[in-house]
Amino acid sequence: MDIFLGRRTRFPDGSSAVPIDQIEGSPIREEFYTRLAEMSPAQIKAFWSKVIFTGRGQPPITVATAAEAKKLLSTNPNAISYVDQTLVDSSLRVVLAP
């Protein structure tokens, strides 16, 4: 979660992390933040507004569809994202399935 909220920029092994968010308003994004951070879409928006308007950073790259997320994940070994369980295949490595 710290990676998605910009608090950490590296994986525990030291390699840099590139989080990929699903588009705002998508049910998967809402569920991801609600379940893992207990934050509503408005709270996430307020959180990133705080970061942006202090010039401390920008929110993660956003993709419109799960297919796009998978494409980015397959081309960038440092990318991390979240998808619906039904979309998991051999091209993805699951690190957490709460």
User: What is the C-alpha to C-alpha distance for residues 85 and 9, in angstroms, rounded to an integer?
Assistant: 25
Q: What does R_g of the chain's alpha carbons equal in angstroms? A: 13
Q: Per-residue x/- mask for other proteins, residues 53 to 72, rule CB under 8 A? A: xxx--x--x-----------
Q: Does 21 bind other proteins (CB under 8 A)?
A: no
Q: Map the footprint of other proteins across residues 36-55, applying CB under 8 A.
A: 36-43, 45-46, 49-50, 52-55
Q: Does 80 bind other proteins (CB under 8 A)?
A: yes
Structure tokens belonging to residue 92: 């993805």
CA 53 vs CA 8, 45, 62, 68: distances in Å: 19, 12, 19, 28
Strand partners, 16: 10
Interface contacts to other proteins, rule CB under 8 A = 2, 7-11, 13, 15-16, 18, 24-25, 27-28, 31-32, 35-43, 45-46, 49-50, 52-55, 58, 61, 73-86, 88, 90-98
